[in-house]
């Protein structure tokens, strides 16, 4: 869910209860848009994370240490100057908005006690971190906003801090039954209940409105006209009381593969079947669980952006070459036409003379025997004109053979690049990136990888899962691992799985010579479908004994041919699901 004003209230309540008058021991800036304050109270030290980035803006307590740059950015140095050794003596939420104000008791340059404020605005792409004095005069900000950037609201040192303008809405902290029904009656009846809640009350994320609507009506898109109004108010009041009394239930929703897809300070039920929920003791535990994996993958993908650029450029270049060669191949199909014109000249040579530019003749090669016109070069004799057409025929014939091979080569290259893209999108560790980078280097893209030096050793390992029947599944993380598993690790009687005509992992089921059950086959097929680029609900997966899989000489990593295979259609399923089930 979005970090709304209700979540801000919950987080500030947790912080205030755990860290009254917290001492700031360290100021860190692990990312350009995040400040971590290491705060201490009693015997406890934790990180107060102030993230104002566009992707995951939030405020939270955390126990996760992060890697920091060798040289602290200027904004971080300023915060250290102001706040190292200072104490947070109060925290408040401005106007029930996504704005937190930390009142900090510190010392000025002369050593006299003073007060400053750290204002954290969690507003999506407009999020910001602002430092002011006790009178709200801006001292500095993570994002300086001048008149060129915004004519509505500026954030500049020396200016007075102003709360962002907000629409006139009711506060969800005030239970007013008459106002609720009055607003509900005046609201357009064809619009949904979710829109009524978010339009009428401030600080409520769409997901929370969905949850309230679902509990009151059983659906998330019910129009106001069809709702039981008393039941809706009763459900809405229960949510208000949860908020007012701070009876939070930190919850994360997980999809079928176990990946987190939503989080909330209350139970999540509106997502329906196929979704499981996990509860946490505190919001800080929730955020650490939800964002730690997300931040790690984002970091991996950032470090792999050079590979994304390389692959996109290589794909565009390959597609252009392929288009040109396909066009030339179509042109080479005219070779037969040239031969027929040469034959027509020979067949009618007795009627032709030098200097003629064309002649008409019956084309007996065509069942309809149409009359066609054959162009001639007036400078050549009829015999030389015939030879000219035969030469064009022979040239087209050779070109067709060469172009057919070239088109096949570039089509295979395009398939290879798509497979690398698929593996790159699923990379989870630095070792995964290193192995993909090394694969591209050895596959002929070294000239596009300036400064790259192949590592002596890469520690990436294939994924391993176990079927219900106890058979081990080995899943390649990239094309190099695919080849290694299929031709170095697997025995000839093991079973090989791969999506049909779709890039993906080679999956090896280690059988030890035994015959797996139908369920084991189904699970292995489902895993092969999951670890591929397939997006449809039912995926075609080929499988056969490893001994039937061969690698053509000179083929790209991951490319194989096989025979006597079977094909199954299955719903994709992750390795964690089959190992856990």
- Please classify residue 317 by burial: count the beta carbons closer than 10 Å to its beta carbon, then call 0-12 exposed, 13-18 middle and 19+ buried: middle
CATH number of domain containing 255: 1.10.8
What Rg, from alpha-carbon coordinates, does the chain have?
Answer: 34
Rounded mean pLDDT, 421-438: 82
Final residue before a domain boundary, out of 389, 420, 451: 420
Taking each helix axis from N to C terminus, what angle separates 382-425 and 335-347, rounded to the nearest 10 degrees? Answer: 170
Whether residues 283 and 317 share a domain: the answer is: no
Alpha-carbon span 268 to 252, nearest angstrom: 8
What's the structural domain count of the chain?
4
Cβ atoms of 72 and 29 closer than 8 Å: yes
Q: Are both 131 and 185 inside the same structural domain? A: no
For residue 39, being part of any structural domain is answered with: yes
The tokens for 546 are 């490893």
φ, ψ for residue 472, nearest 5 deg: -80, 135
- Among the residue ranges 123-127, 297-301, 509-513, the one predicted with the least confidence is 297-301
Core vs surface per residue 363-379: b (16+ CB within 10 A) or e: beeeeeeeebebebeee
Last residue of a domain, one of 385, 401, 420: 420
**pLDDT at residue 150 above 80?**
yes
One domain, residues 14 and 117: yes
Mean pLDDT of 329-335: 82
pLDDT at site 422 = 84
- CA–CA dist 572, 98 (Å, integer): 40
Q: Is residue 148 part of a domain?
A: no
Within a domain: 569: yes
Domain of residue 401 covers 310-420
Q: Mean pLDDT, to the nearest integer, of 27-48?
A: 93
Q: How far apart are the first and last CA of the chain?
A: 29
The helix/strand/coil state of 574 is coil
pLDDT in tens, 360-406: 988 877 778 888 898 999 899 999 999 999 998 898 888 888 888 88
Position of tokens 């920091």? 68
Query: Domain check: are 516 and 559 in the same one?
Result: yes
- Has residue 327 been placed in a domain? yes
Q: pLDDT digits over 199-214, tens only?
A: 999 999 999 999 999 9
Q: Summarize the confidence of residues 85-98 as an average pLDDT.
A: 93
Neighbouring CB atoms inside 10 A of 20's CB total: 14
Residues 535-549 have a mean pLDDT of 91
Phi, psi of 128 (to 5 degrees): -155, 160
DSSP 503-552: -B--EEEE-TT----HHHHHHHHHHHHHTBS--SSSEEEEEEEGGGEE--
Closest by CA to 575, choosing from 545, 531, 512, is 531
d(CA 194, CA 423): 39
Q: Which residues pair with 264 in a beta bridge?
A: 251
Do the domain assignments include residue 223?
yes
Q: What is the pLDDT of residue 421?
A: 86
SS3 32: coil
pTM summary value: 0.62
Q: What does the alpha-carbon distance between residue 173 and residue 239 come to, in Å, rounded to a whole number?
A: 10
Instruction: List, in sequence order, the alpha helices (H) in 84-205.
Output: 177-186, 193-200
- Are 341 and 376 in contact by the 8 Å Cβ rule? The answer is no
pLDDT score, position 60:
94
267-314 tens-digit pLDDT: 999 988 778 889 999 999 999 988 876 776 677 777 788 888 888 899
* 467 and 414 in a common domain: no
Is residue 336 a part of any domain in this protein?
yes
- Residue-level pLDDT at 554: 85
Say whether both 126 and 239 belong to one domain. no
CATH number of the CATH domain containing 42: 2.30.310.10
Phi–psi pair at 58, nearest 5 degrees? -170, 165
Phi, psi of 362 (to 5 degrees): -80, 130
Mean pLDDT over residues 241-268, rounded?
88
Q: What distances in angstroms separate CA 92 from CA 96, 99, 142, 176, 370, one per listed residue?
A: 10, 8, 20, 24, 91
Task: State residue 427's pLDDT score.
Answer: 79
274 and 336 inside one domain: no
Tell me, yes or no, whether 291 and 322 share the same domain: no
Residue at 537 is within a domain: yes
Cβ-contact 140, 21 below 8 angstroms = no
Contact 220, 270 (CB under 8 A): yes
Contacts for 149 with CB less than 8 Å, ≥ 6 apart: none
Same domain membership, residue 319 and residue 289: no
Number of DSSP helices (H) and strands (E) in the chain, helices first: 14, 22
Would residue 432 count as lying in a domain? no
Give the pLDDT mean for 243-261: 85
The reply to whether 98 and 127 lie within a common domain is: yes
- Cα–Cα nearest to 83, from 54, 51, 50: 50
Instruction: Based on the fold, state whether residues 133 and 191 are members of the same structural domain.
Output: no
User: 472 and 510 in contact (C-beta within 8 Å)?
Assistant: yes
Do 186 and 96 fall into the same domain? no
- The last residue of one of the domains, among 233, 268, 296, is 296
In degrees and rounded to multiples of 5, residue 256 shows phi and psi of: -65, -25
The yes-or-no verdict on residue 523 having pLDDT over 80 is yes
Q: Are strands 58-62 and 87-93 parallel, antiparallel or unpaired?
A: unpaired
């Amino acid at each position: 869910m979005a970090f709304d004003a209700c979540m801000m209230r919950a987080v500030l309540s947790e912080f205030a209860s755990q860290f009254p008058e917290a001492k700031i021991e360290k100021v860190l800036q692990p990312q350009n848009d995040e400040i971590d304050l290491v705060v201490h109270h009693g015997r406890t030290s934790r990180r107060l994370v102030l993230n104002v980035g566009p992707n995951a803006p939030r405020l939270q307590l955390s126990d996760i240490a992060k890697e920091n740059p060798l040289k602290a950015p200027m904004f971080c140095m300023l915060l250290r100057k102001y706040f190292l050794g200072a104490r947070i003596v109060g925290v408040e939420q401005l106007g029930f908005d996504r704005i937190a104000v930390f009142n900090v008791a510190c010392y000025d340059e002369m050593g006299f006690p003073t007060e400053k404020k750290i204002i954290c605005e969690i507003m999506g792409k407009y999020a910001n971190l602002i430092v002011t004095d006790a009178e709200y005069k801006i001292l500095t900000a993570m994002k300086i906003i001048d008149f060129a950037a915004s004519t509505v609201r500026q954030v500049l040192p020396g200016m007075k801090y102003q709360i962002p303008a907000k629409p006139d809405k009711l506060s969800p902290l005030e239970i007013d039954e008459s106002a609720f029904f009055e607003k509900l009656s005046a609201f357009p009846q064809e619009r949904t209940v979710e829109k009524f809640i978010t339009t009428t009350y401030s600080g409520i994320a769409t997901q929370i409105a969905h949850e309230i609507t679902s509990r009151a009506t059983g659906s998330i898109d019910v129009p106001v006209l069809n709702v039981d109004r008393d039941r809706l108010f009763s459900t809405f009041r229960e949510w208000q009381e949860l908020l007012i009394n701070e009876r939070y239930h930190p919850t994360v929703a997980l999809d079928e593969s176990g990946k987190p897809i939503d989080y909330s300070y209350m139970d999540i039920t509106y997502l329906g079947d196929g979704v499981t929920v996990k509860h946490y003791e505190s919001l800080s535990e929730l955020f650490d669980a939800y964002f730690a994996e997300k931040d790690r993958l984002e970091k991996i993908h950032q470090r792999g952006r050079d590979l994304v650029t390389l692959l996109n450029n290589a794909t565009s270049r390959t597609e252009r070459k392929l288009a040109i060669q396909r066009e030339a191949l179509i042109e080479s199909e005219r070779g037969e036409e040239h031969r027929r014109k040469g034959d027509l000249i020979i067949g009618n040579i007795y009627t032709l003379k030098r200097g003629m530019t064309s002649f008409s003749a019956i084309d007996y090669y065509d069942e309809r025997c149409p009359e066609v016109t054959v162009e001639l070069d007036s400078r050549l004799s009829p015999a030389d004109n015939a030879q000219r057409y035969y030469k064009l025929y022979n040239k087209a014939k050779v070109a067709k053979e060469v172009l057919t091979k070239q088109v096949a080569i570039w089509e295979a290259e395009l398939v290879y690049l798509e497979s690398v893209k698929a593996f790159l999108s699923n990379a989870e560790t630095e070792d995964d990136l290193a192995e993909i980078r090394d694969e591209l280097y050895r596959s002929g893209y070294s000239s596009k990888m300036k400064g790259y030096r192949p590592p002596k050793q890469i520690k990436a390992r294939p994924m391993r899962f176990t079927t219900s029947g106890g058979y081990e599944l080995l899943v390649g993380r990239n094309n190099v691992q695919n080849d290694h598993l299929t031709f170095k690790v697997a025995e000839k009687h093991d079973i090989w799985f791969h999506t049909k005509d779709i890039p993906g992992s080679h999956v090896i089921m280690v059988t030890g010579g035994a015959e797996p059950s139908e369920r084991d086959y189904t699970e292995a097929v489902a895993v092969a479908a999951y670890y591929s680029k397939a997006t449809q609900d039912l995926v075609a997966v080929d499988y056969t004994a490893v001994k039937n899989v061969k690698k053509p000489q000179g083929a790209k990593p991951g490319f194989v041919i096989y025979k006597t295979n079977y094909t199954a259609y299955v719903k994709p399923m992750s390795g964690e699901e089959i190992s856990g089930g």
